[in-house]
Amino acid sequence: MLELSPYTSLCEWFVSTLPVEHAAISTLGEPFDLETVCSSDPIAAELERIQLELGVGPCWQAKPPGSRP
């Protein structure tokens, strides 16, 4: 039988499973816009907003060189 997850977002799952306190997931351009998909809490949401606004941080470092934002 299919078990439904008690989590309302993937970010909540990351926080409950991994050794982290906050999590956020964003899209970084084509075929999507720069957008936060989910955040585990207001702190993660604010850090993600700043990261996307400034164009620096871990998500930008993970983006392949030469790819468009």
pLDDT tens digits, one per residue of 3-61: 556 767 889 989 989 999 999 998 887 777 788 989 999 999 999 999 989 988 887 88
Q: What predicted TM-score, i.e. pTM, was given to this entire model?
A: 0.73
Is 68 inside any structural domain?
A: no
Domain count, the chain: 1
Asked if 69 and 29 count as a contact pair (C-beta separation under 8 A), the reply is yes
Q: What is the pLDDT of residue 56?
A: 86
Is 3 inside any structural domain?
A: no
Is 55 inside any structural domain?
A: yes
Contacts with 13 (C-beta within 8 Å, 6 or more apart), sequence order: 5, 7
Q: What is the pLDDT of residue 67?
A: 66
Asked if 14 and 23 count as a contact pair (C-beta separation under 8 A), the reply is yes
Is 4 inside any structural domain?
A: no
- Going by pLDDT thresholds of 50, 70 and 90, the confidence category of residue 63 is confident
Is 66 inside any structural domain?
A: no
* Residue 50, domain extent: 10-59
Q: What is the pLDDT of residue 60?
A: 80
